[in-house]
């Protein structure tokens, strides 16, 4: 099916009505599904994850010391319900009213200098891997609904989303990375690291740098889950995941959750993962907050549905963009290890930009 052809007119009308009435809206499509979901809310909380209430959509930042947004799921529409709901609304014109947010952009030379600085810290033993990122900003000339639906059509494998918090935030993305999924007593997460361009033959050779980067992430998650006394931890062998124009190394990790396990503790232990931060996590997080040229805010945070402690579906906020009144800001990153080539890392971020820009 074409999400664009099916839903564009309906969602264009719905989102403009929400913009006009200052209502929160969340649009999302889960990976490998053909079902579109719409949440509309008049209220939301600015809160920490510890303040979560059941049956909520959460949108949390990279820095857990900062508050995110918790949106109670009161009105939710799926598929044909979205089309039917749009017929009850008037055709109006409204636009995004979020004030412009300035983000510092690094040139190619500036980013290479930043990567070399990180490598120097690795060589002195400060940490063994760190995820560098940057932002690319351009004039906002996009149709929000069109952009979102095109992501749904193009990146079927991803968690596609658009979220609007009146006068606060507007984001969209197509993330390939699960942070945590809990279905009754089974927990699922993934280790995702290493990047190269996808190819027509779907044949890939992974170098020592990418395999090492992926191994670090997998071992970290395994160690932390064992520390939380989760049982029956199962780890797959690494395999290639194609994500649009790029491919990653991925490992699936499963475990059994009991009533004694605290889901909030598991979330806080996993976030941010080495795939978006580095190792050791706390040292790398502080380094990023002090040295990165811009404020990540919700990039490499997480988002998704928290039904209750036995039903959780959260994703890392990758391949994403924030949108204000006149600008759109695209966020990309790459894992840096001792063997990283700074020029190649710049090229990797350029390739990742294509996920959302085109």
Dist. CA 106–CA 108, nearest whole Å: 7
Residue 274 clears pLDDT 90, i.e. is over it: no
The DSSP code for 134 is E
pLDDT higher for 275 or 90? 90
What rounded mean pLDDT belongs to the chain? 93
pLDDT at 202: 80
Residue 4's pLDDT band (cuts 50, 70, 90): very high
pLDDT of residue 22: 95
Q: What is the pLDDT of residue 210?
A: 82
d(CA 161, CA 319): 11
Please name which of 37, 63, 275 lies closest in space to residue 178, comparing C-alpha atoms. 275
The per-residue pLDDT for range 240-272, each reduced to its tens digit, is: 988 777 788 899 999 999 877 889 999 999 999
- What does the pLDDT look like over 156-171, one tens digit per residue? 999 999 999 999 999 9
d(CA 211, CA 199): 19
Report the pLDDT value the prediction gives residue 198, as an integer from 0 to 100.
Answer: 81
Task: Extract the runs of DSSP E, i.e. beta strands, from the chain.
Answer: 24-29, 36-41, 45-47, 56-60, 68-72, 75-78, 129-139, 159-165, 169-175, 178-183, 186-197, 231-235, 239-243, 246-256, 278-279, 302-308, 311-316, 320-323, 327-336
Token pair listed for 293:
């040229």
Provide the pLDDT for residue 201. Answer: 76
- pLDDT band at 356, cuts 50/70/90? confident
Distance CA 134, CA 296 (A): 9
* Percent of the chain predicted with pLDDT > 70: 100
Contact 77, 18 (CB under 8 A): no
What separation in angstroms does the CA of 61 have from each of 42, 64, 122, 274? Answer: 22, 6, 26, 16
Where do the domains of the chain lie, and which CATH numbers do they carry?
108-138+186-296+330-357 (3.60.120.10)
The two three-digit tokens of residue 323, written as one number: 């949108």
Computed on alpha carbons and rounded to an integer, the radius of gyration of the chain in Å comes to 20
What does the alpha-carbon distance between residue 294 and residue 308 come to, in Å, rounded to a whole number? 34
Q: Mean per-residue pLDDT for 306-329? A: 95
Q: What is the pLDDT of residue 184?
A: 87
């Amino acid at each position: 099916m074409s999400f664009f052809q099916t839903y564009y007119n309906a969602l264009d009308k719905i989102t403009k009505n929400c913009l006009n009435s200052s209502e929160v809206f969340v649009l999302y499509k889960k990976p490998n599904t053909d079902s579109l979901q719409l949440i509309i809310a008049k209220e939301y909380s600015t809160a920490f994850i510890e303040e979560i209430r059941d049956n909520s959509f959460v949108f949390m930042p990279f820095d857990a010391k900062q508050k995110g947004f918790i949106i109670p799921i009161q009105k939710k529409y799926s598929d044909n319900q979205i089309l039917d709901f749009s017929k009850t609304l008037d055709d109006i014109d409204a636009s995004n009213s979020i004030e412009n947010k300035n983000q510092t952009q690094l040139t190619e030379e500036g980013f290479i200098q930043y990567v070399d600085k990180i490598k120097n810290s690795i060589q002195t033993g400060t940490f063994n891997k760190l995820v560098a990122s940057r932002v690319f900003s351009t004039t906002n000339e996009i149709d929000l609904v069109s952009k979102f639906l095109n992501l749904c059509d193009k990146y079927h494998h991803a968690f596609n989303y658009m979220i609007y918090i009146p006068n606060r935030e507007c984001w969209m993305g197509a993330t390939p990375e699960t942070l945590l999924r809990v279905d009754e007593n089974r927990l699922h997460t993934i280790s995702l690291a290493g990047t190269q361009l996808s190819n027509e033959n779907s044949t890939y050779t992974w170098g020592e740098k990418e395999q090492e980067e992926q191994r670090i992430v997998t071992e970290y998650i395994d160690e932390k889950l064992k520390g939380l006394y989760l049982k029956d931890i199962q780890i797959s062998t690494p395999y290639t995941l194609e994500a649009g124009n790029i491919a990653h190394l991925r490992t699936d990790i499963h475990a059994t959750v009991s009533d004694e396990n605290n889901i909030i503790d598991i979330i806080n232990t996993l976030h941010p993962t080495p795939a978006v931060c580095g190792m050791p996590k706390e040292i790398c997080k502080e380094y990023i907050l002090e040295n990165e040229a811009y404020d990540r805010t919700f990039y490499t945070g997480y988002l998704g549905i928290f039904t209750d402690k036995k039903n959780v579906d959260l994703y890392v906020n990758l391949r994403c963009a924030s949108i204000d009144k006149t600008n759109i800001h695209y966020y990309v990153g790459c894992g840096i290890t001792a063997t990283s080539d700074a020029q190649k890392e710049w090229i990797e971020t350029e390739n990742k930009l294509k996920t959302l820009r085109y």
